[in-house]
Amino acid sequence: MDGARRESEGRFAAYVGSLASVLGHADRTGPLMDYCTGLLMPGERKSVEPIASIVAPARVAAARQSLLHFVGLSAWSDEAMLAKVRELAASAFEAQGGVEAWIVDDTGFHKKGSHSVGVARQYCGRLGKTDNCQIAVTLSIANHHVSLPIAYRLYLPEDWAKDAKRRKKAHVPEDVEFRTKPQIALAQIEAAVNAGVERGVVLTDAGYGCDGAFRAGVTALGLIYAAGVQSTLSVWPPGEEPLPPKPWSGRGRKPSRLRHDDDHRPVSAKELAMGLPAEAWREVEWREGSNQPLSSRFAAARVRPASRDHKLIEPHPVEWLVVEWPEGEAEPTKYWLSTLPEDTPLAALIDVIKLRWRIERDYEELKSELGLAHFEGRGWRGFHHHASLCIAAYGFLILERSAFPPSARWRREKPALSSRSRSSRAADPSGTPRGQLDRDDAQAIDDRPGEIPLPMPMLPNRLKASKLQPALVTQ
Report which of 344, 343, 100 is spatially closest to residue 201, judged by C-alpha positions.
100
Given a cut of 70, the residues of the chain with pLDDT beneath it are 1, 243, 249-250, 255, 258, 262, 309-313, 405-475
* pLDDT for residue 66: 95
Q: What is the pLDDT at residue 44?
A: 86
pLDDT for the residue numbered 36 = 95
> Of the candidates 329, 326, 356, 365, which has an alpha carbon nearest to the alpha carbon of residue 456?
365
Burial bucket for residue 466 (CB in 10 Å: 0-12, 13-18, 19+): middle
- What pLDDT score was predicted for residue 248? 72
The CA distance from 228 to 205, in Å, is: 4
Return the pLDDT at 435.
36
Give the integer Cα–Cα distance in Å for 6 and 10.
Answer: 6
For the CA atoms of 144, 126, 347, 279, what is the dihedral angle to 10 degrees? 170
- Looking at residue 222, its pLDDT comes to 96
List, in order, residues 6 or more apart from 462 with CB less than 8 Å away.
Answer: 55
135 forms beta bridges with: 108
What does the alpha-carbon distance between residue 139 and residue 114 come to, in Å, rounded to a whole number?
27
> pLDDT by residue (tens digit) across 261-281?
767 788 999 999 999 999 999
Pairing of strands 472-474, 201-204: unpaired
* Alpha-carbon Rg for the chain in angstroms: 24
Burial of residue 393 (number of CB atoms within 10 Å: 0-12, 13-18, 19+): buried
- Please tell me the distance from the alpha carbon of residue 426 to that of residue 441, in angstroms, as a whole number: 15
Task: Determine the Cα–Cα distance for residues 233 and 9; give it in Å rounded to an integer.
Answer: 53
pTM: 0.84
